Structure 1
Amino acid sequence: MKRLLLFLVICSMMEVSYAQSKDEKAVTQAVENLRKAMVDADKAMLEKLTDARLSYGHSGGNLEDQATFVKQIVSGHSDFVTMDLTEQTVTIVGNTAIVRHKLAADTNDSGKPGTVHLRVMLVWAKEGGEWKLLGRQAVKEPVKN
């Protein structure tokens, strides 16, 4: 009886860790899809991946809603030529995910080439089985001496 109980406890723990792993993978894929959609200026994908209530904060203090965020990317006002994400962590709490990473990108905002180095926090919400970006805040990467 004790062995059966132990077996059931271990099995239930494995089920919980599998579910978390599945969500972490789904969120990681959503982040990658967002990165690609931003580089490709893919309006349909940007709208699909973001929540209508999106709050998108830039490192300079600008705040955008979903419509403005999508318009800025698609119009080329915010143009990511390349974007690399590193040191990414994903934390799942219920139907919410917090993602943190470093972002390094080559940009061509309104035709002006540049580079950015940011630390970013994304908040994703799971609705109807899909992860949608609900919030984003970036800060400039500290200058190393």
Structure 2
Amino acid sequence: MKKQLFLFALILLNVGFTFAQSSPEREIKKLSLEKWQWMADKDIAKLTPLFHPQAKFVHMSGTWTTARELEIIETGSIWYKKADIKDTAIEIVGNTAIVWNRITLTANVRGSDVVTEFTVTEVYQKEGSVWKMLALTFSSVRDTHEIEK
């Protein structure tokens, strides 16, 4: 009997863990993290299906379209070398996810490495079973900036 109760408890824990792992918040957090790596790797093949064709990208020097952002990444005119994520907040509203990441970004811009503190706002919308990025906005902040949750 003890063995059966132990097995039952183990199964319940595993089911709970599996359910928690597949929550929309975990799914979008994983996607956001992967996106930073794909940007660092200049992996246009993975970024293209993620970025909605009508997405907008707001940077310190301008706002542009998906096509321009992909071109910038591919050519390396901005090379997102490393995003050191300090804090993350995620809110899901219906089929829309908003991610706020406080990061230290190391990037190569026009041939020079720069390190900048940002809060990055990412907006995703779920289309069927796939998340699409609608917006990515970099806001320059102090390194003491905190995301209120």
Same fold (TM over 0.5): yes
Deviation at 1:61, TM superposition (A): 5.0
Amino acid at match of 2:69: F
Give, in whole Å, the separation in 1 of the partners of 2:30 and 2:113: 28
TM-score (norm 1): 0.80
Deviation at 1:32, TM superposition (A): 1.1
Measured at CA, do residues 143 and 81 of structure 1 come closer, stay the same or move farther in structure 2, by a change above 3 Å? closer
Q: Is the 8 A contact 2:42 2:73 kept in 1?
A: yes
Residue 48 of structure 2 corresponds to: 47
Deviation at 1:40, TM superposition (A): 0.4
Residue 24 of structure 2 corresponds to: 23
Residue 9 of structure 1 corresponds to: none
Deviation at 1:141, TM superposition (A): 1.1
Report the more deviating stretch, 30-39 or 135-144.
135-144
SS of residue paired to 1:142: coil
Q: Does 2:107 match 1:121? A: no
Give, in whole Å, the separation in 2 of the partners of 1:48 and 1:33: 13
Give, in whole Å, the separation in 1 of the partners of 2:80 and 2:73: 8
Q: Is the 8 A contact 2:117 2:143 kept in 1?
A: no
Give, in whole Å, the separation in 1 of the partners of 2:109 and 2:93: 35
SS of residue paired to 1:70: helix
Give, in whole Å, the separation in 1 of the partners of 2:122 and 2:143: 22
Structural RMSD (CA): 1.9
Amino acid at match of 2:95: N
Residue 107 of structure 2 corresponds to: 107
Deviation at 1:36, TM superposition (A): 0.7
Give, in whole Å, the separation in 1 of the partners of 2:113 and 2:87: 25
Measured at CA, do residues 111 and 125 of structure 1 come closer, stay the same or move farther in structure 2, by a change above 3 Å? same
User: Deviation string for 1:24-45 (max 9, x for gaps)?
Assistant: 1111111011111111010111
Give, in whole Å, the separation in 1 of the partners of 2:97 and 2:50: 14
Residue 34 of structure 2 corresponds to: 33
Amino acid at match of 1:27: I
Report the more deviating stretch, 69-78 or 104-113.
104-113
Amino acid at match of 1:68: R
Matched residues, number: 126
Give, in whole Å, the separation in 2 of the partners of 1:75 and 1:61: 17
Deviation at 1:86, TM superposition (A): 2.1
Amino acid at match of 2:54: R
Paired-residue identity, %:
26
Deviation at 1:110, TM superposition (A): 2.6
User: Deviation string for 1:52-76 (max 9, x for gaps)?
Assistant: 1111111x25101100011101111
